[in-house]
Amino acid sequence: MTRDRGWLGIAGVVAIGLVLSLALTERYHHRILTLVFLWATMGLAWNIISGYAGQISFGHQAFFGIGAYVTVLLAAKLHLTPWLGMLGGAGVAVLAALLIGTPTFRLAGIYFGLATLAYPLIFRILMDFLGYQEVAIPMVRDHPVLFMQFEEPRTFDLLALALLAATLVLSRLIETSRLGYSLRAIKENEQAAEAMGVDAFRCKMAAYVLSAAPAALAGAIYAHAILFVVTPDGVFGVIAIVQTLTVCLVGGVGTLWGPVIGAAIMIPISEILDATAGDRFPGIQGVVYGATLMAIMMWAPEGLFWRLRRRPASVARATPVVPTAATAEAPAAAPGPVQLEVRGISKAFIGLQALADVSFEVREGEILGIIGPNGAGKTTLFNVLNGFLLPDRGEVRWLGQPITALRPHLVCRRGIGRTFQVVRFFPHLTVLENVMVGAFAHGDAPGAARERARDALGRVSLAGQADTLPAGLTTLELRLMELARCLATSPRLVLLDEPLAGLSSDGVEMMAVMIRRTRAAGVTVVIIEHTIQALVKLADRLVVLDHGRRLAEGAPGDVTRNPAVIEAYLGKRWLARHGPDHAATLRP
């Protein structure tokens, strides 16, 4: 979607809202309209943390309730106007989001969702305990406007519409910002995002704080327009989060249109049902919401918006062409000073010593191959180098500085990029957007990041596929895209985890050219492979790992003649029969 269409859409929603507000005459219809706007706002707020960032929160009504309670209590106890009170409520909600988020974002996936359940329940019990089972909004007849007490029901839906418009604008700004891309990357693959320099914790916190404020304001307006008497059950109760979830899931998650569509459909239905059948069947709303959630999950889990939206037209495919050797090959420069020092790294998992006292150095401008049979500890080594794992012992130094305890995004920002054994792409981002996530590592604005990403795609001959989704790429193209994403972080050294795995011989050749080009551009390369053949041609030096230990190190020719290496690969018997000089199978 282009920039302008997004803003036009928001203007359209506001215009339709205004027309409806002016056209409707009955008080009851205005009530429904207000509710549609408020729950759309609440849905948008939830969507920021749970839709964009993918951190499903089952406790978002905590902020809604805080907004309602703080505003009404300030008016009742201190006689403060709710216009200021609701800002106070939003402030308290932001503070609560910081306090809740700091520990809770240490949890991943399902644990995060379960932990969020607890907060509104705690608030609910506390409000009961503090004697705030029912807090009425004080009637102030002298200053109705100052105390948000309007005779005219239209005023409330205009107020709610203004909040909805503001939240739409906020969502739109997030969607098109660096934060928005980072959040979507975190949702799709948090580790890959961190390896590309995204500070996942800070991004999630930012999203959480930004989603708490609109929820609190919606709560404050809800209290004045609908409730009049705030109760723990009314604002912290299950139905508040259920309505929020339902409008988002029905409409579609991860887009600003989803909650608006969902609220426009679900709120009128449930209100009308409640008004016509609520007396005879208490709980009918709950049944409708519950059945809707079930039906959506069974038949349209992506929501109406994504279901109705046409997929972007696929771009004419141009398979990347292997550049001719002349343009790509660059003479191997003499190795420069030591960049990366690995000293005595050990790492054990339960019952398995993955790395035992591994040491080696990487020099600027070289291509270093790390080889070893499966299970030798190669990927564990990379995970230690890029900060995913903390070693049990040992130290990693980068340009003379210790980086052992640095978190992955900081390792990336210092100039160490990496790729993964199984390509970790962001499936719902286009190829260009995938690479942009890497380009953001140096604090670019989206426009500059887009340029940097295009440039990186061009360097791996993948510019033609910029606007497709990664699902349409071949294995080679995925590996190239991941290399481009890694290069977009402007690394000085790249860690490539089996970049040749699963490629055809043409693909291997293409990848080898790209790797040489990368080095020619001044980037040091460290490659993991489990087949020696592929690396002997490519690497300047090899380090051999076996069962977590460094078995050998040296020039490819020497290493392939090393009896210990041959034994690790081919076994003792083979060595006894053929001797080290016949290790032809290990050579190209």
Partner 1 sequence: MAASELAQYVVTGLLVGGVYALMSIGLALIFGIMRVVNFAQGDFMMLGMYLTFYYAVALGIDPLLGALLSIPPFFVLGLLVHRAFLARVTGGGDPNREMDAQLILTLGLSLVITNATTMILSPMPRSINAPYASKAFAVGPLLLNQARTYSFATALLLAAAVYAFLTRTDLGKALRAAADDPEAAGYQGINVRTMHGVAFGIGIALVAAAGGLLASYHPIEPNVAVNFIVLMFVAVVLGGLGSIPGAFVGGIVIGLVQSLTLLLLPLQLQNVGVFVAFLIVLYVRPQGLFGRRARTV
The CA R_g of the chain, rounded to the nearest whole Å, is: 29
Closest CA to 100 of 24, 10, 205, 223: 205
Amino acid, res. 382:
F
Residue 269 in the binding site for partner 1 (CB under 8 A): no
Length of the chain as a residue count = 588
Q: Report in angstroms how near the CB of residue 134 gets to partner 1 at its nearest.
A: 16
Residue 128 in the binding site for partner 1 (CB under 8 A): yes
The C-alpha atoms of residue 342 and residue 357 are separated, in whole angstroms, by: 10
Q: Report in angstroms how near the CB of residue 282 gets to partner 1 at its nearest.
A: 6
Question: Pick from 44, 45, 56, 185: which binds partner 1 (CB under 8 A)?
Answer: 56
Q: Which is nearer to partner 1, 109 or 458 (CB)?
A: 109
Question: Pick from 12, 290, 472, 557: which binds partner 1 (CB under 8 A)?
Answer: 290
Q: Which is nearer to partner 1, 302 or 540 (CB)?
A: 302
Sheet strands side by side (includes 541-546)? 416-418, 493-497, 524-529, 367-371, 541-546, 549-554
Retrieve residue 187's tokens.
Answer: 């949702």
Retrieve residue 456's tokens.
Answer: 């990186």
Residue 99 in the binding site for partner 1 (CB under 8 A): no
Question: Pick from 20, 90, 115, 526: which binds partner 1 (CB under 8 A)?
Answer: 115
Q: Which is nearer to partner 1, 290 or 522 (CB)?
A: 290
Q: Report in angstroms how near the CB of residue 389 gets to partner 1 at its nearest.
A: 6
Q: Which is nearer to partner 1, 102 or 585 (CB)?
A: 102
Residue 301 in the binding site for partner 1 (CB under 8 A): yes
Q: Report in angstroms how near the CB of residue 300 gets to partner 1 at its nearest.
A: 11
Q: Which is nearer to partner 1, 287 or 332 (CB)?
A: 287
Closest CA to 346 of 502, 187, 545, 97: 545
Footprint (CB under 8 A) of partner 1, residues 396-425: 420
Contact stretch for partner 1 (CB under 8 A) within 84-92, 208-216, 291-299, 319-327: 291-299
Residue 574 in the binding site for partner 1 (CB under 8 A): no
Q: Report in angstroms how near the CB of residue 386 gets to partner 1 at its nearest.
A: 10
Contact stretch for partner 1 (CB under 8 A) within 18-26, 118-126, 151-159, 206-214: 118-126
Residue 136 in the binding site for partner 1 (CB under 8 A): no
Question: Pick from 12, 138, 286, 557: which binds partner 1 (CB under 8 A)?
Answer: 286
The C-alpha atoms of residue 236 and residue 133 are separated, in whole angstroms, by: 12
The C-alpha atoms of residue 251 and residue 516 are separated, in whole angstroms, by: 48
Q: Which is nearer to partner 1, 280 or 573 (CB)?
A: 280
The C-alpha atoms of residue 285 and residue 246 are separated, in whole angstroms, by: 12
The C-alpha atoms of residue 93 and residue 213 are separated, in whole angstroms, by: 6
Residue 350 in the binding site for partner 1 (CB under 8 A): yes
Q: Which is nearer to partner 1, 83 or 281 (CB)?
A: 281
Under 8 Å between Cβ of 154 and 28 = no
Residue 275 in the binding site for partner 1 (CB under 8 A): no
Under 8 Å between Cβ of 323 and 459 = no
Q: Which is nearer to partner 1, 282 or 312 (CB)?
A: 282
Residue 118 in the binding site for partner 1 (CB under 8 A): yes
Question: Pick from 1, 19, 99, 126: which binds partner 1 (CB under 8 A)?
Answer: 126
Residue 191 in the binding site for partner 1 (CB under 8 A): yes
DSSP SS3 for 529: strand
Q: Report in angstroms how near the CB of residue 311 gets to partner 1 at its nearest.
A: 15
Residue 285 in the binding site for partner 1 (CB under 8 A): yes
Question: Pick from 106, 143, 537, 577: which binds partner 1 (CB under 8 A)?
Answer: 106
Burial class from Cβ neighbours inside 10 Å (0-12, 13-18, 19+) for residue 279 reads exposed
The C-alpha atoms of residue 108 and residue 95 are separated, in whole angstroms, by: 22
Binding residues for partner 1, rule CB under 8 A, total: 50
Residue 282 in the binding site for partner 1 (CB under 8 A): yes
The C-alpha atoms of residue 370 and residue 540 are separated, in whole angstroms, by: 11
Retrieve residue 499's tokens.
Answer: 């970049």
Footprint (CB under 8 A) of partner 1, residues 353-382: 379
- Count of H-run helices and E-run strands, the chain: 25, 12
Letters for 217-246 (x = contact with partner 1 by CB under 8 A, - = none) are ---------------------x---x--x-
The angle at the Cα of 87, spanning 146 to 19, to the nearest 5 degrees, equals 65
The angle at the Cα of 432, spanning 427 to 434, to the nearest 5 degrees, equals 40
Under 8 Å between Cβ of 157 and 37 = yes
Question: Pick from 14, 107, 166, 448: which binds partner 1 (CB under 8 A)?
Answer: 107
Cross-strand partners of 542:
369, 554
Residue 48 in the binding site for partner 1 (CB under 8 A): no
Amino acid, res. 302:
E
The C-alpha atoms of residue 441 and residue 420 are separated, in whole angstroms, by: 18
Residue 520 in the binding site for partner 1 (CB under 8 A): no
Q: Which is nearer to partner 1, 156 or 382 (CB)?
A: 382
Contact stretch for partner 1 (CB under 8 A) within 1-9, 73-81, 103-111, 547-555: 103-111
CA max distance for the chain:
104
Amino acid, res. 561:
R
Residue 283 in the binding site for partner 1 (CB under 8 A): yes
The C-alpha atoms of residue 45 and residue 100 are separated, in whole angstroms, by: 16
Residue 383 in the binding site for partner 1 (CB under 8 A): yes
Amino acid, res. 12:
G
Question: Pick from 1, 125, 146, 555: which binds partner 1 (CB under 8 A)?
Answer: 125
| 529 backbone dihedrals φ, ψ, rounded to 5° | -145, 155
Residue 293 in the binding site for partner 1 (CB under 8 A): yes
Burial class from Cβ neighbours inside 10 Å (0-12, 13-18, 19+) for residue 414 reads middle
Estimate the crossing angle of helix 446-459 against helix 431-439, to 10 degrees: 110
Give the interface with partner 1 as residue ranges (CB under 8 A): 56, 103-104, 106-111, 113-115, 117-118, 121-122, 125-126, 128-129, 191, 238, 242, 245, 249, 281-287, 289-298, 301, 349-350, 379, 383, 388-389, 420
